[in-house]
Amino acid sequence: MRVSHRRLISRGDFPGSDGGVYNPGAIETDAGIVLVCRREIDYRFSSFVHAERVLLDAETLDIVDHSTLRPRGYPDGTRREDFRCTSFAGEALCIHTLVHNGRIRPVLSRFDEREIQFFDPLELPLPIAPVEKNWVLFEHDGALHCLYQLDPLTILARRPDGAWALVKREENGWGDDFTSTLSNSANLIRFMDGYLGFWHSIVAGRYVQGALLLDGDLAIRYRTDALLDGEQVRGGHKPGALYVTALLERRGSILAFYGEGDAHTSVAEFDAAELEAELRRHPFQASQALKVRLAVRRMGDLYRAMIALQRLSRDLGEPRIRLYVDNPRLAPAIAVFGVPKLRLRGGTDAVDFDYDLSGA
């Protein structure tokens, strides 16, 4: 696809940005396009990190003004990173990473022209790992929704009392196509007859990004191959990092704002009609796989289980296999057996298993 790139803000353009200004959230307002960027004073990644509000002229994307948002309501010593912005019920909100007490996970905040304020800890009714990132938001049927994960496709809705309820969790096999994690990129926006988002993964040390579309039933209808490749990012603090964090549709274009090399803020512009055509060329189809549970405590049991799995794979013609493992430290030992088309999943990701290799 045709795509044009433009650097909007470079590291060092603002005072106190020797560590970069990057990973912007974006919403359009009457005054122009508002970005909320992560501004780092250096690359020590201390608690001295700021939410920098940047106002762009909506027509030219030139910088009109910028200021630092004052934080309110956060625990002392926390870091706030990667502010993905959205508008909901007349408020400007952002979902962003909070680093605190050894945990990394998203929370929800409000912001205006002067402040960013803690709003919702996003307590989801799911098992949450110590490190969580890349949760994204969208509005559906008048409620705020959170797209937690793409495979298994996991979506939650915020109830009027502020609690989050699980509305969809289903495996589709998309993640099996990647050796690294398949992740969300930006808050979803209305597009075509559904919701446009971007996905990303890491390939050979660089970020690749593509588009996806959820339909009105919150199923994945389309997904493109990679449209943006971090291979073009040769400089910055982190070469190869092209990290989309915001989408806007404007006057026949889709603007994908991204962090460039953990240093700069840039934008990729797509023709909206071309992007729609590209999506329609790639209807999404879930892939089937055998689901196998592995729960062992001794290396001898692991050895016998993997020999059985090798035999099963051979007898069934080497199908795709999703192996659900409670202990991720077993991954290197499992890889030694070289079972074809095998992908590891967390032990709680599935309910119904085709085979169970557990115990002695």
How many residues are recorded in the chain? 360
Q: Are 216 and 194 contacting, i.e. CB atoms less than 8 angstroms apart?
A: yes
| Averaged pLDDT score across all residues of the chain | 95
Query: pLDDT tens-digit profile of 120-134?
Result: 999 999 988 889 999
Structure tokens, 151:
């495979």
| CA angle in degrees (0–180, nearest 5) for 98-70-56 | 95
- Residues 195 and 343: their CA atoms lie apart, in Å, by 29
**Taking residues 151-168, what's their average pLDDT?**
96
- Residues 90 and 154: their CA atoms lie apart, in Å, by 26
CATH architecture of 4-280: 5 Propeller (2.115)
- pLDDT exceeds 60 at position 350: no
- How is the beta sheet containing 164-170 ordered, strand by strand? 136-140, 143-150, 153-158, 164-170
**Buried (b) or exposed (e) across 177-215, using 16+ Cβ within 10 A?**
ebeeebbbbbbbbebeebbbbbbbbbbeebbbbbbbbbe
13 or 48, greater pLDDT: 13
pLDDT for residue 164: 98
pLDDT for residue 349: 55
Q: Are 334 and 299 contacting, i.e. CB atoms less than 8 angstroms apart?
A: no
- Residues 223 and 278: their CA atoms lie apart, in Å, by 9
pLDDT for residue 184: 97
pLDDT for residue 346: 78
DSSP 232: G
Return the percentage of the chain with pLDDT > 70, whole number: 99
Q: Are 100 and 142 contacting, i.e. CB atoms less than 8 angstroms apart?
A: no
**Taking residues 172-192, what's their average pLDDT?**
94
Q: Are 270 and 53 contacting, i.e. CB atoms less than 8 angstroms apart?
A: no
358 or 242, greater pLDDT: 242
| CA angle in degrees (0–180, nearest 5) for 213-215-217 | 145
Domain ranges within the chain, ordered by starting residue? 4-280, 290-358
Residue among 231, 348, 211 nearest 281 (CA): 211
Q: How confident is the model at residue 351 (pLDDT cuts 50, 70, 90)?
A: low
- pLDDT exceeds 60 at position 175: yes
The reply to whether omega before 106 is within 30° of 0 (cis) is no
**Taking residues 224-242, what's their average pLDDT?**
96
> Which residues fall within 8 angstroms of residue 17, CB to CB, at 6 or more apart?
11, 39, 40, 41, 52
pLDDT for residue 347: 66
> Which residues fall within 8 angstroms of residue 262, CB to CB, at 6 or more apart?
20, 22, 23, 236, 237, 238, 241, 243
176 or 107, greater pLDDT: 107
pLDDT for residue 345: 84
Query: pLDDT tens-digit profile of 298-335?
Result: 899 999 999 999 999 999 999 999 999 988 789 999 99
> Which residues fall within 8 angstroms of residue 235, CB to CB, at 6 or more apart?
261, 263
- pLDDT exceeds 90 at position 348: no
Q: How confident is the model at residue 190 (pLDDT cuts 50, 70, 90)?
A: very high
- pLDDT exceeds 90 at position 360: no
**Taking residues 234-262, what's their average pLDDT?**
97
Query: pLDDT tens-digit profile of 55-83?
Result: 999 999 999 999 999 999 999 989 999 99
